[in-house]
Amino acid sequence: MTVVGSRQLRNGMSCFVGIGIPSTVANLARNTHAPDLFLIYEAGVLGSKPYRLPLSIGDGELATTADSVVSVPEVFNYWLQGGRIDVGYLSAAQIDRYANLNTTVIGPDYHQPRVRLPGAGGAPEIAAHCREVTIIMRHTRRAFVSEVDFVTSVGLGPAANLRSELGFKGAGPVEVITDLGVLRPDPVCGELALVAVHPGVEVEEVLEQTQWPLQVSPSLSITDPPTDEELAVLRDLISRS
Amino acid sequence: MTVVGSRQLRNGMSCFVGIGIPSTVANLARNTHAPDLFLIYEAGVLGSKPYRLPLSIGDGELATTADSVVSVPEVFNYWLQGGRIDVGYLSAAQIDRYANLNTTVIGPDYHQPRVRLPGAGGAPEIAAHCREVTIIMRHTRRAFVSEVDFVTSVGLGPAANLRSELGFKGAGPVEVITDLGVLRPDPVCGELALVAVHPGVEVEEVLEQTQWPLQVSPSLSITDPPTDEELAVLRDLISRS
Amino acid sequence: MAEHLELSQAVSRYVQDGDTVALEGFTHLIPFAAGHEIIRQGKRNLTVSRLTPDLIYDQLIGAGCVRKILFSWGGNPGVGSLYRFRDAVENGWPSPIKLEEHSHAGLTNRYVAGASGLPFTVMKGYLGTSLGQIAPHVRFLDCPFTGEPMAAVRALNPDVGILHAQRADRLGNVQVWGISGVFREVVMASRRVIITVEEVVEELERHPGDFVIPAMAVTAVCPAPFGARPSYVQDYYNRDNDWYRRWPGLSKDRDAFLSWVEGSVMGGSG
Amino acid sequence: MAEHLELSQAVSRYVQDGDTVALEGFTHLIPFAAGHEIIRQGKRNLTVSRLTPDLIYDQLIGAGCVRKILFSWGGNPGVGSLYRFRDAVENGWPSPIKLEEHSHAGLTNRYVAGASGLPFTVMKGYLGTSLGQIAPHVRFLDCPFTGEPMAAVRALNPDVGILHAQRADRLGNVQVWGISGVFREVVMASRRVIITVEEVVEELERHPGDFVIPAMAVTAVCPAPFGARPSYVQDYYNRDNDWYRRWPGLSKDRDAFLSWVEGSVMGGSG
């Protein structure tokens, strides 16, 4: 999942990074095929080049290796809302068929939640303003739901013209990478479809782990397995963090 | 005029300063009775302590002697609009009986001006947001007009509740200091009245230099002449600039 | 003009029960010493605001100081949940708390509007989200030029802003560098401002990438060496990641938390 | 990512006739070298934006490059009038120019909105003034929370932002310190960004109170030593106040101005 995610990043792109898998993905790319990837962390850190993987979004390591450190209003208003970011990475506790994401509460009543999650953070703005959004999360039946309990971050529907109605400039989610495979939205209606599975994963398994009747692309492919170099860099990154 | 202006400033006040007479006034005060006067220049210079009088609002001297230098959005939005300034100094080409000021154009038609003046700069926000505004200008019949040709900065009327209607938090002009004397607004209707003349100035002369029928306070006083210390400091300031 | 005070004096004098208080610091410069002083002084019914509640608000909530929390991301970064926060939300222990929930950008812009002396400001956000439906200080309007839908967020002006910084001088000018988050905005938006500092120096020596908050904008400066631990202060000490990892063990259980407060906060002085 | 270009290449490639161009720098760091290059290349029908037109726009106007000017204070600071500006406004020489006039705060917030990717932003200003009646990109609205009257100013996104700074590195990261005016806002609001610098260095050594604009946000970096003269560059050279005082003598008369342009701009290379 991490390796496949890192392959989407092209050298010279600007990438808005959260802590956890997104940070690992971006730093893996920066240490393999995309050395000039421009990493932006929501703490206001621009152009960070961490040697270790940070535990927190505002680690000292991120700031001291950065080109520039700006205030939080500046990173959210000028950089993110200003449309400067090529790709943003998101994860979530729930995702629906239109890639709407929930990181707020599980359960039908916001005021009496079954599970209280951390909340929105920078996710709604990443979803709205980045040119493209890549979602990375584990593929489980609890997470891949027909309708999210709470829309923390806006995806691609149900209305097909949702994003342009809301005036969002970013294209929204273009890819969902999971531990089972890769989903991409239908270019017209925005519904996610399975376009690739990882080596050894059965389509049946993916369908079982998805609460809605998941469409499968007629040109379904199998992702390339991680190369030795990718695995070595990833192990090295993790070992020094 | 400069000396009388400087006397209004109390130690520890924050003072928004323009170039020219306001800057001279404020630095005279800082060098006499108000050493901790906090000077803010619109270039974003906070707590400046210039040794020379600056020629321009953004002189290097202002920045290098300052506590802090901030961006122009920060000085206008956070410091001025944010209501942090005790007193602002303004001057103008025209003033009317409610202390509305014109620094934009002379003549009835904005698009075909008789004289094109420099324009607004920071004046409208100084007039709106400072807790108090002091106006310093030469007292001539061309300048003290019944109605300004263009309202660049808002004063105290004609409507008595003008400022609260507009939602301005600052009290607006509290004093007009000229080379002939001092005017203060009527606390109810906001119209300026002559409250003091400088030594040797006749009331008749002030009335002649004012286009509207100027009210004269029944308790009209004569301003104290400049002390030797005030004159010495002023000459010293000017000589090193 | 800033007064130099002991932290206990500053909290006693300037933080009142029922106040709206913002203890900010984006991962960097989190004012833990000030938070602990609030717990020691038993302040109650506070409305507390912070983008990332972090351990500092988990502690204030568990200690019963908080009636309402404004926030945008409530987790233990890189570790998991804030158990005292969740226990208050899910079970009302030690007392129920009200939530006002935002995105980072939304709460940030509430501070920006407050700092700017505006009743509100505008942003592209909240549109299409459930957040936009539950957040009480968000309204929607159309751009008067283009007709585009926009969100308006109401200004937030805390009664007290509490921040931690590297240094102050004798006059109370405060110097900060590294990740600054919403430092300036909280200073300018708050009615009273308490800043704890690693050290008070005779004169500030400027530092690359720093900024200075003039004493004019500060109410009280309090010396508090290591006052941001277990978070960090750039060029003074590192983030204590192990402590963040240990926090679930100290806080998941109510009794364990209470004995941690008793032993580590109530007895201490910082 | 920023390209390193000669100034003449950058102006030729990125400034087109009819563009909206912001050459900013609040007294400090005024990009005179770039302005002169625009005159030399005979660019026409520009809409130019600047809080303080200063001598740089007086020169561009007199040289016939300008069709419309956005500004908020049009004088020669501490000296008097801008005669080429006034001659264009009052007599239409060398060609009539349109004015869009603001307060400093108003034009600043137009840049802020542009930098923020918003169609507009709000401020308390223009209310009750004649400016509010003549400025085309100002509207009034009521606060959706309090009902207070507010001004909305429309975003300004220049085609080209042109700025001067102390230094850049080989990668095109740009370092600035001292009075910065609307530097960041113009960088972030503009579609293309040209930055002239005093020097290009291998690696930026950080400087107290500085900030760095990442190369990511810059289109072209051009070496231009003394490129801000007669304005100043902090820690490089001082403002040439005498030159500002001499400008009326060089510019009040049309022929004197034309011979100054011919002798000092057209012949030069910076």
pLDDT (0 to 100) of residue D269: 53
The DSSP element (H or E) to which D192 belongs, if any, is strand D192-201
Do B and A count as touching (3 or more CB pairs closer than 8 A)?
Answer: no
Low-confidence stretches of chain A (pLDDT < 50) are none
Give yes or no for a contact between D4 and D200, defined as CB atoms under 8 angstroms apart: yes
Do B124 and D129 lie within an 8 Å CB cutoff?
A: yes
Q: Would you call A77 an interface residue with chain C, using a CB distance cutoff of 8 Å?
A: yes
**Mean pLDDT along residues D202-221:** 94
By DSSP bridging, strand B115-116 and strand B105-106 are: antiparallel
pLDDT of amino acid B39: 92
The neighbour count for residue C134, using CB atoms within 10 Å, is 17
The residues that bridge with D21 in the sheet, in sequence order, are D48, D160
End-to-end CA distance of chain C: 25
* Chain C, window 131-150: residues with a beta carbon less than 8 angstroms from a chain D beta carbon: 137, 139, 141, 143-146, 148, 150
Average pLDDT over residues C189-210: 95
Contacts of D126 in chain B (CB under 8 A): 124
For chain C, give the mean pLDDT.
Answer: 96
Contacts of D141 in chain C (CB under 8 A): 141, 144
Predicted pLDDT of residue D268: 66
Q: What is the pLDDT of residues C231-261, one digit of tens each?
A: 999 999 999 999 999 999 999 999 999 999 9
Measured from the Cβ of residue A110, the count of other Cβ atoms closer than 10 Å reads 17
Q: C269: pLDDT confidence band, cut at 50, 70 and 90?
A: low
pLDDT computed for residue B205 by the predictor: 97
**Whether C124 contacts A167, CB under 8 Å:** yes
Q: Is the pLDDT score of D36 beyond 90?
A: yes
Whole-number pLDDT of residue C178: 94
The pLDDT value recorded for residue A2 is 86
Task: Quote the tokens at residue D144.
Answer: 């959706």
Q: Where are the domains of chain A?
A: 2-240
pLDDT at A238: 86
Q: Which one of B16, B79, B168 would you mutate to disrupt binding with C, by most C Cβ within 10 Å of its Cβ?
A: B79
The amino acid present at A118, given as its one-letter code, is P
Whether residue D124 and residue B44 make contact (CB cut-off 8 A), yes or no, is no
Beta-strand runs (E) in chain C: 3-4, 20-23, 46-50, 66-71, 98-101, 120-123, 138-142, 149-154, 160-169, 174-176, 192-201, 211-213, 220-223
What digits encode the pLDDT tens for the residues B191-232?
A: 999 999 999 999 999 999 999 999 999 999 999 999 999 999
Query: How many CB atoms within 10 Å of residue A85?
Result: 26
C46-94 pLDDT, tens per residue? 999 999 999 999 999 999 999 999 999 999 988 889 999 999 988 999 9
- Residue A193 buriedness (CB in 10 A; 0-12 / 13-18 / 19+): middle
B129 touches chain C (CB under 8 A): yes
Give residue-wise pLDDT tens across range D79-113: 889 999 999 988 999 999 999 999 999 999 999 99
> Letter for the amino acid at A125?
E
Question: A with C: how many residue pairs have Cβ under 8 Å apart?
Answer: 165
Q: What is the number of residues in chain B?
A: 241
Query: What integer pLDDT is reported at residue B239 of this predicted model?
Result: 86
Q: How far apart are CA C266 and CA D153, in angstroms?
A: 52
Kindly tell me the burial class for residue C126, based on how many C-beta atoms sit within 10 Å of its own C-beta (0-12, 13-18, 19 or more): buried
Q: Side chain identity at B184, as an amino acid letter?
A: R
CATH number of A2-240, picked from 3.20.20.150, 3.40.50.10800, 3.40.1080.10, 3.60.20.40: 3.40.1080.10
Q: Any alpha helices (H) in B31-147, and if so which ranges?
A: 60-64, 72-73, 123-129
Question: Does the pLDDT value for residue C154 go beyond 70?
Answer: yes
**The two structure tokens encoding residue A117:** 């999650």
pLDDT tens digit at each of 241 positions of chain B: 888 888 888 888 999 987 778 888 888 899 899 998 999 999 999 998 888 888 777 777 888 889 999 999 999 999 999 999 999 999 999 999 999 999 999 999 999 888 889 999 999 999 999 999 999 999 999 999 999 999 999 999 999 899 999 999 999 999 999 999 999 999 999 999 999 999 999 999 999 999 999 999 999 999 999 999 999 999 988 888 7
Average pLDDT of span C100-116: 97
Chain A with chain D: Cβ pairs closer than 8 A: 43
Q: Which of C77, C184, C239 sits opposite A60 (nearest CB)?
A: C239
What mean pLDDT do residues D180-200 have? 98
Catalytic residue list contains B132: no
DSSP state of C204: P
**In the prediction, which pLDDT does D270 show?**
43
CB C222 within 8 A of CB C6: yes
Beta bridge partners of B46: B40, B68
Query: Residue D220 and residue D14: Cα distance in Å, rounded?
Result: 9
Touching chains, D (3+ CB pairs < 8 A): A, B, C
- Is-contact A220 A197, C-beta < 8 A? yes
Q: Which domains can be identified in chain C, with CATH numbers?
A: 3-102+157-258 (3.40.1080.10), 105-154 (no CATH)
pLDDT of D160 above 70: yes
Q: Give the Cα-Cα-Cα angle D228, D229, D233 (nearest 5 degrees).
A: 55
pLDDT at A18: 74
Q: Please count the other Cβ atoms lying within 10 Å of the Cβ belonging to residue B177.
A: 27
- ipTM for the assembly: 0.96
* Catalytic annotation, pick one of A42, A61, A175, A191: A42
Tokens of C160: 């007290």
Angle between helix D32-40 and D7-14 (nearest 10): 60
Residue C270 has pLDDT above 50, yes or no: no
Give helix then strand counts, H and E, for chain C: 9, 13
Type of residue found at D212 = V
- Does the pLDDT of residue D246 top 60, yes or no? yes
Q: C32-40 and C54-62 are packed helices; what angle lies between their axes, rounded to 10 degrees?
A: 0
